[in-house]
Amino acid sequence: MLLGLGVVIALLLATLWLIKRLSAPRGPSAGLKVLGGVAIGSRERLVLVEVGDKVLVLGVTANSINTLHTTDAGDLALAPPPAGTNRREPEFAGWLRRSLEQRKDGT
């Protein structure tokens, strides 16, 4: 029974290693990393892509991809938020919270 359990665990570990090995990017795309993107239209997007030690700002449309800006990856480091500030909440959520507080205080 222990031998069978050992075989099953060995097969599981070998399968997990194989999945990890096969899912790793290869070839030219191995050095690319998409940092983020935002939609600016129905078919237009701005995308940040890290290529080696450079960060590219790309404009992506249905017909083309254009490089809008290039910078070093070290220049993109985000500063920590100032002490005492909460993380930014969505506009509607903030409006709803304030209106509920005003209603509670007014009643």
More confident residue, 87 or 94: 94
The answer to the question of residue 58 being in a domain is yes
Q: What is the mean pLDDT of the segment spanning 19-30?
A: 74
Mean pLDDT (the chain, rounded): 81
- Residue 78, helix vs strand vs coil: coil
The answer to the question of residue 105 being in a domain is no
Per-residue model confidence (pLDDT) at position 13: 96
Give residue 53's domain range.
31-78
Question: Range with the lowest mean pLDDT among 16-25, 35-44, 50-59, 95-104?
Answer: 95-104
Domain total of the chain? 1
Q: How many CA atoms lie within 13 A of 23 on its CB side?
A: 6
CA distance 75 to 87: 23
Per-residue model confidence (pLDDT) at position 30: 67
pTM for the whole thing? Answer: 0.48
CA distance 51 to 28: 10
The answer to the question of residue 45 being in a domain is yes
Per-residue model confidence (pLDDT) at position 107: 54
